[in-house]
Structure 1
Amino acid sequence: MKKIVIFFGLLLPLALRAQNPAPAKPQSRPIALTGATIHVGNGQVIENGTLVFDKGIITAIGNASTTFDRTATEVLNLTGKHIFPSLVSMGTTVGLQEIASVRATLDFQEVGEINPHVRALIAYNTDSEIIPTLRNTGILVSQAVPQGGLVSGQSSVFYGDGWNWEDAVLKKDDGVWLSWPPYLARSFNPEDFTFSIKKNEKRAEVIQSLRAYFADAKAYAEIADPAPVNLRLASMKNLFSGAANLYVRADYAKDIIEAVQFAKEMGVQKVVIMGGDESHKITGFLKENQVPVVLEELHRLPSRPDDDVYLPYELPARLHKAGVKVALSYGSGWWRTRNLAFQGGTAAGFGDLTPDEALQLVTRNPAEIMGVAQQVGTLEKGKHATLVVARGDLLDMRSNVIEKAYVKGADVNLDDKHKRLYEKYKEKYGH
């Protein structure tokens, strides 16, 4: 028995190393980061800056002459480093999906076509192996989104650290997700791996059913004290008060226009387009109706064979220059979401965007779109101290080396599965 106890005792450290690090402890004393270049996230850059935060809140930010109580503050000299606000990832299944081939780890879709009452909030898994890998490219805030059907459900916004979803949540039920029926339907032929495009014959019927459902939801929202409670209709109430966004998945210009017009007609206050592949064709319409666009993967070929091959790379700049609020995402990705920063870098390299304008596409703009800009998105006094310290440019793959990360002032452990695998196989192949 004694030998068995010793054996398992020896295995325990190995088992502990294979687990995600525990969530960071709350900030216990004021911290000042000095000497670094601070990228505020609103276009302002502070050379040789000072950033002070206490109890998770930024209390001072400025140049080297910024004053604070040095005797009570832990001071970190970060000369030569860069400080950025956390990247904000929209439209992901992070926390809802782990291994695509293992059904038990997938919790992002419900049966049925109209499920506005389904909440990503309570399905979010803070023990996901993916979340720590995101922290190591600067993503400390992400939006978990249900998938499938016409009305997929409600998304929520989470910090990338916490024991459970109650700890991690930043904003509950920030919006309802609608997949607008496209005018043209794409079908895949597995025999020759080609796509065919044809008119969607059932489109009018589907839109009519959506119209009836939204009309019922609006009428229900106007009832002061409904009895009995209808959970499906009640979950859409905030759409009509402006407390939640209606996120519409749409790519074709015709579909985007019709979806926005439909939402306005139904009394929805805030509409956000997700995808927006042809949004550059209708920038005037989007600007006039104050509709933000969240672009998905930029690192791809254009959707149409006659489009400029660089069109996906240039889309952010085209929308931004036209006065449309635009953010970047990785669609429904989860593992690949860690590359979000490099989409910002691509946007800066194509279309005459400055690096700090490109940074706003993955920090300030998504925070404003989701209604969490009072807490995150930029580094300003009174906001949450959710930030990263990098060796160089956060949007550059070569210098995106995260050395420290803070979530609401808590110093986050940057260990992750990728690093553990690297250390493991370095011993095997490093000789």
Structure 2
Amino acid sequence: MKNIKLIYSLVFLFFTNTIFAQNQAAGLPQTKAIALTGATIHTAAGQVIPNGVIVFDKGVITAIGGAGTAYNKATTETIDVTGKSIYPGLISPANQLGLIEIEAVRATDDQTEIGQFNPHVRALIAYNTDSELIPTVRSNGVLITQATPQGDVITGMSSVMQLDGWNWEDAVLKKDDGVHINWIGYFKRDFDFSTFTFTTKKNDKREEQLREISKIFDDAIIYSQIKNPSTINVKLEAMKGLFDGSKNLYIAADYGKEIIEAVQFAQSKGVKKIVIIGGEESLLAADFLKENNVPVIVGTTHRLPNKVDDDTDLPYKLPYLLQQKGVTVGLAYIGLNWRTRNLPFVAGTVAGHGMDKEDALKLITANNAKILGIDKYVGTLEVGKHATLIVSAGDVLDMRSAKVEQAFIQGRKIDLDDKQKRLYKKYSEKYGTK
């Protein structure tokens, strides 16, 4: 009997610990108007409001302005955030957050499908709202991500997701916003694990691969002209939106000549909206990109330049230099998905290399929203837009002072606890280092 009681006790403790280790629940819908007062409001729409007031109800911003902004105090929950700063929720494009949990565990990796050409693959239905990584990213102010599939050539369709929800149906902000393609380069870069370095060699199959891509687009053009096809081709069906402007074509390309070539190819096929992702040498094609109204989502700037004779800080200056050329620029943290939590600090580095700080903020808010086609709802703090915003104790672009204390997604107050905070608290108490 004692053994049975001991077993029951151990089982109870196991499940209790498991329950407490789970991520927090999704935020509850807003039931009462909320006013945040006293903070400096960075609207990302060209205005900074000191000692400002922002009011939102039913998930939508209803008023924003200076200290004298009128609102019904009797029916509104007023939260004093004097001395803090309010920003739009940060937006992370071209990311695999929610698609992969542990890189070394294949069962948690759902970012790639087999095959070279998969325009029909939807990142949307693979998005995992229970990821342990999401709360850690959210804690640094990133509230929206573009779940983007990986792969060989045509990788699939991304979707824009809010970092809160019970499931992907709750979290989705824009379904299937675009198709992603890795442009075929003149050279292939492979990673050699024996020397732990990248090796570059000529891509001998380039012309053949380009012909295959061209054929798929030609087939998709013909298919898109059939009003009621008797047989649905899921691959070509997924590409129809490229020709009527309802979907973006996101092209991952880095080198200047390849960027121009990729854009010209897409234009020749009648693609309406084109976005370059990565763009390490996009400055070489800046005039062409401006003339053709093609935006660039610049990849991670915390890297060395491609060429030995480039300025060592060229990657940091790249968004600023593109902006000076008149190109619409967004910023992404391409690479390990959990590192996207550093996105605001990457923007802060750009601000330290020529760009005005409010313009640097736009790189990860207003500009990204415009490029992804969600600027009607998010990206700036304006009346009528979603109440998706953060409150920080310091400058959110500066890792020395940034401390996100409150976050709201469509007016829902978000629990900013995460696994790393819990572990810090646990071991601080154990070793008395608080």
Q: Same fold, TM exceeding 0.5? A: yes
**Which amino acid in the other structure matches residue 325 of structure 2?**
A
Contact 1:143–1:157, Cα closer than 8 Å, also in 2: yes
1:317 corresponds in structure 2 to 320
Q: Are residues 228 and 70 of structure 1, via their aligned partners in 2, closer, same or farther at CA, if it must alter by over 3 Å? A: same
Give, in whole Å, the separation in 1 of the partners of 2:419 and 2:351.
30
1:201-212 superposed matches below 5 A: 201-212=204-215
2:266 corresponds in structure 1 to 263
Q: Are residues 48 and 346 of structure 1, via their aligned partners in 2, closer, same or farther at CA, if it must alter by over 3 Å? A: same
1:1-400 superposed matches below 5 A: 8-9=11-12, 13-350=16-353, 352-400=354-402
Shift of 1:197: 3.0
Shift of 1:286: 0.4
1:421 corresponds in structure 2 to 423
Q: Are residues 5 and 220 of structure 1, via their aligned partners in 2, closer, same or farther at CA, if it must alter by over 3 Å? A: same
Contact 2:257–2:285, Cα closer than 8 Å, also in 1: no
Give, in whole Å, the separation in 2 of the partners of 1:294 and 1:89.
10
Aligned residue pair count? 430
- Provide, for residues 263-287 of structure 1, a one-character-per-residue CA deviation record: whole Å limited to 9, x for no partner: 0000000010011000011110000
TM-score (norm 1): 0.97
Give, in whole Å, the separation in 2 of the partners of 1:187 and 1:59.
52
Q: Secondary structure at the match of 1:235?
A: helix
Contact 1:91–1:332, Cα closer than 8 Å, also in 2: no
Cα RMSD for the two superposed structures:
1.4
TM-score (norm 2): 0.96
Shift of 1:24: 0.7
Of 323-332 and 58-67, deviating more is 323-332
- Provide, for residues 310-330 of structure 1, a one-character-per-residue CA deviation record: whole Å limited to 9, x for no partner: 111010100111110111111
Shift of 1:248: 0.3
Q: Are residues 189 and 134 of structure 1, via their aligned partners in 2, closer, same or farther at CA, if it must alter by over 3 Å? A: closer
2:412 corresponds in structure 1 to 410
Q: Secondary structure at the match of 2:40?
A: strand
Identity %: 54
Q: Which runs of 4 or more aligned residues in structure 1 lie more than 6 Å from their structure 2 counterparts after TM superposition? A: none
Contact 1:58–1:385, Cα closer than 8 Å, also in 2: yes
Contact 2:97–2:337, Cα closer than 8 Å, also in 1: yes
- Provide, for residues 146-179 of structure 1, a one-character-per-residue CA deviation record: whole Å limited to 9, x for no partner: 0011100000000000000000000000000000
Shift of 1:6: 5.5
Shift of 1:331: 1.3
Give, in whole Å, the separation in 2 of the partners of 1:62 and 1:12.
49
**Which amino acid in the other structure matches residue 372 of structure 1?**
I
Q: Specify every segment of 5 or more residues in structure 2 that has no aligned partner in the other structure, as ranges.
A: none
- Provide, for residues 79-134 of structure 1, a one-character-per-residue CA deviation record: whole Å limited to 9, x for no partner: 00000000000001111000000000000111100000000011100000011111
Give, in whole Å, the separation in 1 of the partners of 2:87 and 2:277.
25
Q: Specify every segment of 5 or more residues in structure 1 that has no aligned partner in the other structure, as ranges.
A: none
Q: Are residues 191 and 410 of structure 1, via their aligned partners in 2, closer, same or farther at CA, if it must alter by over 3 Å? A: closer
Shift of 1:9: 4.8
Shift of 1:201: 2.0
Give, in whole Å, the separation in 2 of the partners of 1:6 and 1:196.
56
Of 325-334 and 4-13, deviating more is 4-13
Contact 1:42–1:356, Cα closer than 8 Å, also in 2: no
Contact 1:98–1:105, Cα closer than 8 Å, also in 2: yes
Give, in whole Å, the separation in 1 of the partners of 2:249 and 2:23.
34
